[in-house]
Amino acid sequence: MRVLTDINSLVTISDTKGKVFKSNQTIRVIDQIANDIAVIFNDNYLGTVPNDSAGRSALWNDIVTHHDSLMTARAIQDFTSKDITVSQGEDATSVVVTDAVTPVCAMEKLYMTVTVS
């Protein structure tokens, strides 16, 4: 038998933080997504791209491309471009990204049914 578990300190799950948030692998994936989107924004959009429909569409496209690469790397699954929206924020200079992802977790348990005849 071999046991290796990467755990974090979350012990109480809720409607907003389910069992998947107990996995550090999940936390690493969503932290990486947040960091990568921040880099995309800072390197390509901050202070240079207008906050209009075309500018927000370009940011949306870059995030979709990023997430497609995460799908290829098998870090997230079941992603579609409809899972991301980029809209204008409360003021003329802010944008709001709404992102829905399903991280892929590594296999940790094996259950078997063996029939002997």
| Residue 31 CA neighbour count, 13 Å, CB half | 7
Positions of the chain with pLDDT lower than 70, given as ranges: 1-7
Closest C-alpha among 99, 113, 41 to residue 70: 99
Q: Enter the pTM of the model.
A: 0.84
The SS3 assignment for 94 reads coil
Residue 16 confidence (pLDDT): 83
Distances (CA, A) of 106 to 18, 20, 31, 74, 80: 17, 12, 17, 10, 21
First to last CA, the chain: 26
Residue 74 confidence (pLDDT): 96
Supply 77's token pair.
């699954």
Residue 106 confidence (pLDDT): 84
Closest C-alpha among 43, 47, 71, 74 to residue 84: 71
Domain chopping of the chain, boundaries: 19-103
Residue 6 confidence (pLDDT): 66
Residue 5 confidence (pLDDT): 66
Question: What CATH class is the domain 19-103?
Answer: alpha beta
The alpha carbon torsion through 103, 104, 109, 113 (nearest 10 deg) reads: 120
